[in-house]
Structure formats: structure tokens, C-alpha cells
Amino acid sequence: MDSLTHLALGACMGEAFAGKKLGKKAMLWGALAQSIPDIDFLAAFWMDTPSNLLAHRGFTHSLLFCAMITPLMAFAAERWHRPHNISLKKWLLFFGSVIFVHLFIDAFNNYGVGWFEPFSHKRVSFHAIYVADPFFSLAPGLACLAMLYFRKTPKQRKRSWQIGLGVSALYLIYCLVNKWKVDSDVKQIFEKPEITYSRYFTTPAPLQNWLWFVVAGNDEGYHVGFRSLFDREKQIHFQYFPRNDSLLDPIKDHEELKKLIRFSQEYYTVEYWNDTLVFNDLRFGQILGWANPEGKFVFHYYLEHPYDNTLVVQRGRFDGWNYDVLKGLVKRATGVQILGPPIELGNGGQ
């Protein structure tokens, strides 16, 4: 999730833990603990982009890191606030819970989290919520503002963190239900056109949880489309993108490329933009893909110009956005088809 959401959730958890005893300091400890796994952003200062992509949400988002940093923060807080009546066991439980919640909710979006680093490089991703979903962030954010406003009224502060954490938890459950519904629909749709695929995923389109990005394919290429929870017909308007592995033959032994392929979890395509070789990671969706089936992928890496890739993960995510684009997203999310007829899959969608 985004940094502000982590801060808000941590502050709510801190208030729940020791708001009556520590006041606003409890919120600060919670916000700090909830943010500490994101210390991996420092890696960007000395790592190349492919290495940094793997480092982000890697070891600092692992269960081992949680186990290591929890006692350090617990001992520091226990000594800092002496004298007090909070046992070390409670400090350990608090910091362990807050940090684990960070690792857990980050696994809900499409970047993936290295829970098992350094023993396994497997990334855990539920693909159930967009990385910045205002419907998830609103409740804890408002709760934090309310707790600051009602700083001298414990009853109101308690009600605020209960609503902030409770609504967020219910929304995550709601997202998982939506995920199950979309996956069920997609599997039925795949049976009809007989799409050949060895892997697939569904993940929410930007800023909401009703329109989902669908990718299915194999080492030859991928079918890409969108599915709304409110679509009535059991069909998806697919666009086909060949993977074009042959374009990588001259550089197939480069470490940079190997890291990109590992990061993409095999969901990638390669293409030329004029004379520039580009690596696309499909997991992050397309720029305005629900309106333009042939739209560029948000994650595009210039293989021959590595120094032009500092913002590669969300490059151009909101290029071209305006009121009409937002209105189009809302319409498509509510089940209104804004594209042409379904693409025939027999000719590769071209």
C-alpha cells in the first residue's frame, strides 16, 4: 500500500495499544512501526534499477525481518517510556503485530512481497487490491484526523480507531470476495474461446475494486483484457500481445535482463519502439487500457537505455488522465462496455 495509508493504519494501531497511557506518542510508535519495512527505499541510492526492483519489498518485508526488528523496537520503546506499566511482552506483541500487518496488506497488491527472503525468492501476491485504493485508505485517514481532533476525549478517540481499523478490515474481505467472483467468471470465459494458457492473473485497475485487469497466456504471448464485476455477458474483449522472446537473444545472458524476467514472474513481453528495445511487465497494467486495448504497458523498461528507467514501475500511469478519462473508468467499472466487439482470437488478436 502507499506510505500515507501505512502511517494512518499504524497510528490507529498505536492508539488502540496504548493511547490512554502514552497519548499521541502511541500513534507515533504505531506509525513508525508500520512504516519501517519501507526502509528498503534507501537501496535505490546505490543499486541499479533491476536490483532495486527485487530489493523493494524483499528482505525488509520478510517474516525474518519482522522477527529481527520487533525485539529491537520493543526494547527501545520499553526503555524510552520508563517508568510505565506496559510489559515487554506487550511491547513485543504490539510491534510484531503492526509490522506483520504491513507485510500482510502489501501482499494484497500486484508487486509481490518476499515473505520468505532470504531462504526463498518466491513473491507472495494476492492481486486483490490496487496499490493506492482511496476506498481502503479513507477510513484510517479520517480516523487519524479524528483522533487528533478529539485528543482530550478518550471515548471519541477509541471510537475513531475502531472505525478506522474495522472498516479497512471489512474492505479487504470485500476485495477478496470480488477477487473470487472475478476469477470464477474469468475461468468460465476461458473455457468458451479455448484460450491456450499456462498462467493467468487478475488484478484491480487503478483506484477501485470493481474493474479488473485480466492477463492469460504462455511463453508465446498473452491475452489482455478487462472484466467488471457488473458485466452481464460472459465475455472479455481481449487484445493479444506476443512475447517476442527472440528479440532478447543478443542480450539473453545479461544480468540486468535476468533480474527483470525474475521480477516479472514470467509475465512480460518485448517489443521495439522505433529503434528502442522495450521490456514490458504486464502485471502493472496498461495506460488507459480499458479505453485503448492497444495501450502501452505502465511498466516499460528501456533495455538499451538503463539510465532512463528510474520511475519504471508506474511510468506514465496517469498520462492523459482528465475528467473524461475518469468518467470513462467509472462507466467501465459499472459494467458499461466502451470498446468495440470482442476481438477474434483465431488470428492472435491482431
Q: Say whether both 103 and 202 belong to one domain.
A: no
pLDDT value, residue 194: 72
Q: Say whether both 37 and 152 belong to one domain.
A: yes
Side chain identity at 288, as an amino acid letter? L
Of 151 and 283, the structure prediction assigns the larger pLDDT to: 283
Q: Is the pLDDT of residue 345 over 70?
A: no
Whether residue 232 lies inside any domain: the answer is yes
The number of domains in the chain is 2
Distance from C-alpha of 96 to C-alpha of 13, rounded to nearest angstrom? 12
Q: Mean pLDDT lowest for which of 1-15, 195-209, 245-259, 333-347?
A: 333-347
Go through 65-100 and write b for each residue having 16 or more CB atoms within 10 A of its CB, e for each that does not: bbeebbeebbeebbeebeeeebeeeebbebbbbbbb
Whether residue 245 lies inside any domain: the answer is yes
8 A C-beta contact, residue 143 and residue 13? no
Whether residue 180 lies inside any domain: the answer is no
Distance from C-alpha of 309 to C-alpha of 302, rounded to nearest angstrom? 7
Q: Say whether both 155 and 34 belong to one domain.
A: yes
Give mean pLDDT, residues 298-327. 85
**Cell matching residue 4:** 500515507
- Cα torsion for 334, 340, 341, 342, to the nearest 10°? -70
Whether residue 84 lies inside any domain: the answer is yes
Percentage with pLDDT > 90 across the chain: 74
Identify the CA nearest to 219 among candidates 274, 272, 261.
261
pLDDT value, residue 339: 55
pLDDT band, very low/low/confident/very high, at 316 (cuts 50, 70, 90): confident
E-state strands within the chain: 199-204, 211-218, 221-228, 239-242, 268-273, 276-286, 297-302
pTM for the whole thing?
A: 0.90
Q: Which domain holds residue 310?
A: 192-333
| Tens digits of residue pLDDT in 94-124 | 999 999 999 999 999 999 999 999 999 999 9
Whether residue 19 lies inside any domain: the answer is yes
8 A C-beta contact, residue 210 and residue 174? no
Backbone φ and ψ of 286, nearest 5°: -110, 160
Distance from C-alpha of 89 to C-alpha of 342, rounded to nearest angstrom? 59
